[in-house]
Amino acid sequence: MGTTSSHLGKDALSEYQELTFLTKQEILLAHNRFTELLPKEDKGIPDVRVPMERMLSLPELKANPFKERICKVFSTSEHKDGSLTFEDFLDLLSAFSDSATMEIKSHYAFRIFDFNDDGTLGHNDLEKLVDCLTGEKDDTRLTRDEMKQLINNILEESDIDKDGTVNLSEFQHVISRSPDFVSSFKIVL
């Protein structure tokens, strides 16, 4: 699908519409936003990557406590450095769009929360998740006992097979009982 960053052809636009949950207008807007992140010398280079630092300058990501994980999950770089191609960027926007299914949103949310990329949400993943949500400053950080109790509560509620972790299907089961999840899991350009 590789297309140049300076021009989005009609065929590429049609293909992107078919492969994402995005409208033609959303794809064109995404292309403009992506191109704005490129240094002048990189515009027009096929499959160019925008470094994570530049991606994080987008206001939609800047305020998100999971911004670095989001970039790393959607990065197709072999080093998982968080850099994104235009197609990676479209995948990110598609997964966070209002039109994406609950299954897609929960799959990517699970991957974002799986900080060690082992396919489960274990104690360390849940601790990092809570830290991201509560803030890592001393005045907002939970005490060790509060953190332990919260993680035990999460596992009690979510860990159906009682193996000490939350797998994707358990996560999706919990999310299915939360109607606000779909509306809160979005990024709008």
Q: Are 47 and 2 in contact (CB under 8 A)?
A: yes
Question: Up-side HSE of residue 107: CA atoms within 13 Å toward CB?
Answer: 10
Separation of alpha carbons 76 and 74, rounded Å: 6
Mean pLDDT comparison of 6-10, 40-44, 66-70, 184-188, highest-scoring range: 66-70
pLDDT at 82: 96
> Is residue 179 over pLDDT 90?
no
pLDDT at 43: 86
Q: Where in the chain are all domains bearing CATH 1.10.238.10? A: 10-95, 102-184
Q: Measure the CA angle with vertex 115, ends 111 and 120; round to 5°.
A: 60
Separation of alpha carbons 49 and 84, rounded Å: 5
Beta-bridge partner residues of 121: 166
Distance of CA 77 to the CA centre of its chain: 15
CA-nearest of 98, 31, 45, 107 to 74 is 107
Burial of 16 (0-12, 13-18, 19+ CB in 10 A): buried
The CATH code of domain 102-184 reads 1.10.238.10
Q: Helix, strand or coil for residue 84?
A: strand
Q: How is 128-141 classified by DSSP, letter by letter?
A: HHHHHHH-SSTTTS
Mean of all residue pLDDT scores within the chain: 90
Separation of alpha carbons 84 and 91, rounded Å: 10
pLDDT at 171: 96
Condensed to tens digits (0 to 9), the pLDDT of residues 89-145 reads: 999 999 999 999 999 999 999 999 999 999 999 999 999 999 998 886 777 789 999
Q: Side chain identity at 53, as an amino acid letter? A: E
Q: Side chain identity at 16, as an amino acid letter? A: Y
Condensed to tens digits (0 to 9), the pLDDT of residues 155-169 reads: 999 999 999 999 999
Q: Are 161 and 120 in contact (CB under 8 A)?
A: no
The CATH code of domain 10-95 reads 1.10.238.10
- pLDDT-based confidence at residue 70 (cuts at 50, 70, 90): very high
Orientation angle between helical segments 10-19 and 24-36, nearest 10 degrees: 110
> Is residue 33 over pLDDT 90?
yes
